[in-house]
Amino acid sequence: MFVIFGVLHALVSGNQADKWTGEDPVFVMFGHILNFLKKNCSLQASGNDNPNQTDSDRFLANFFLFLMQPCGQLKVEDKSRLISEFLPKLSTIFIEEPVHLLGDDENKSDDDTSSIDFVGPAMIGLDAMQRANSTLEDFCRSYFMFHGVDINRAESIFRYLPVLSFTESYIYQLDTFNEKMLGLAGSRATCLNKWFNSEAHYNWASKFIKVLESDPFCPLTGLLEQLGLLTERIREELRNGEEYWALERKLCGALSSKLEIVIGDVMRAIHMKSFDYRVLNLLLYQLRREEVNELHMEFLSVSEFLVEVADDLTHQALFDDDITLCCVRFDYEEDVLENNFNILRMFVRIYGTSMAPTMLAKYITEAEEKYSHLLKGLDPPLSLSYRRRCEEATKEGGSITGYSLGSWTIPPLIADEELYRCTFQNPE
């Protein structure tokens, strides 16, 4: 390896880097690598004893030579394009799994989590930003009206979008880690995805738990504090988010393991589930330098509960490759397959298939009564605007007629989740 590095050092010392960074775009990236190596080599020569510096140089040299190796019919231009396209999509979390499975952690202890800790600046990935888009759109269309912000004016949105988008994307990024934990718990307990049963994957996945249990919002709160936006109430909602993820793992793990669950945990989890909306709303108050309107917050909290329940009972259309509708599946069914938190799943486990719809209807009715009461306390124009927004959201979501309690649709209930999963995987 040091011989390889020496060859590259000779190239750099001979001022080949300047030649490589000419007008030919194919070699621009390689020129940047060589120039970077040249800079690092000069630092080493001046007495830099940092051991990480040598590792960095060796990695870059190895990477450069790897690019030069023949690979089928790929030309240098093709390799450069592939790297430019896919490298930004990689993350430490993405790479951690194959590294662990390939045994490249011989010098690490089993509980080492240095590669996925959250000490340092708050950072987000493109995938998290894309996943956060639908929530941000809904937040702007449903919540901006409570601040007197016109969403039809672009400047009204973009003025607050950077902070709101970054915060929601950061939350989604952590939510992805939590989903991996839920998938692991469900897969180890059922016939799905036998690959999850490997101890290597289990050890890798346990690192995500440590991330979620070691103040994962610390970088975000540090950033918000620097911007003068952090309040104790925002901290509290972020703590609620951590508690929700912990409850979700606890409850879904209990369902997979056929353990008992209690209604108190279920109701606390469903009420905490929309913590991200409350964080965004509180941030918007801070960005606009306004006092929090407690009536609005209470009303929206009840609305959030009803929306979360409705989401757990809704359906999605599935299409085949030629964009033909092939089936309709309820989110409840999807959540059973993926071992996600769903209030109907929890009620079926606690009350059984015969009583679950009735007990859920009781909680829905109580929430709807409180919603109607608080709605009357809003200013008439705001009340009208919000009701219209709810009608829009309902139309955009579609409707499928099934077992109904009032205007609510209860999907077909699944008494044996494990059998359902196995049947779905092996329909023959």
pLDDT, tens only, 46-82: 445 555 566 776 776 677 777 777 887 777 777 777 7
Higher pLDDT, 82 or 333: 333
Measured torsion, CA atoms of residues 159, 162, 167, 173, in degrees rounded to the nearest 10: 150
- The string of pLDDT tens digits covering residues 277-290 is 999 999 999 999 99
Question: Is there a contact between 357 and 410 (Cβ–Cβ < 8 Å)?
Answer: yes
The residues with which 317 forms a beta bridge, in sequence order, are 328
Residue 329 to residue 314: CA distance in whole angstroms: 9
Per mean pLDDT, which of 142-151, 325-334, 384-393 is the most reliable? 142-151
Question: Is there a contact between 302 and 371 (Cβ–Cβ < 8 Å)?
Answer: yes
Residue 144 to residue 332: CA distance in whole angstroms: 30
Confidence of residue 12 (pLDDT cuts 50, 70, 90): very low
Identify the CA nearest to 252 among candidates 195, 184, 194, 173. Answer: 184
pTM for the whole structure: 0.67
Residue 269 to residue 288: CA distance in whole angstroms: 30
Instruction: Map out the domains of the chain as residue ranges.
Output: 2-89, 114-425
Q: What pLDDT score was predicted for residue 57?
A: 66
Q: Is the dihedral of CA 368, 374, 379, 382 positive or negative?
A: negative
- The string of pLDDT tens digits covering residues 376-394 is 999 999 999 999 998 888 7
Confidence of residue 315 (pLDDT cuts 50, 70, 90): low
Residue 235 to residue 160: CA distance in whole angstroms: 20
Q: What pLDDT score was predicted for residue 76?
A: 75
**Mean pLDDT within 309-334:** 67
SS3 per residue for 150-172: CCCCHHHHHCCHHHHHHHHHHHH
Contacts 24+ apart (CB under 8 A), 370-373: 370/302, 371/299, 371/302, 371/303, 371/306
Residue 190 to residue 420: CA distance in whole angstroms: 10
The residues with which 316 forms a beta bridge, in sequence order, are 329
**Mean pLDDT within 11-19:** 46
Q: Annotate 311-344 with b (16+ C-beta within 10 A) or e (fewer).
A: ebbbbeeeeeeeeeeeeeebbbbebbbbbbbbbb
Per mean pLDDT, which of 81-95, 307-321, 378-392, 413-427 is the most reliable? 378-392
Residue 327 to residue 304: CA distance in whole angstroms: 29
Quickly list DSSP for 301-342: HHHHHHHHHHHHH-EEEEE-TTS-EEEEEEHHHHHHHHT---
Residue 424 to residue 428: CA distance in whole angstroms: 9
Confidence of residue 425 (pLDDT cuts 50, 70, 90): low
Higher pLDDT, 233 or 102: 233
Residue 125 in this model has a pLDDT that exceeds 70: yes
**Mean pLDDT within 158-170:** 95
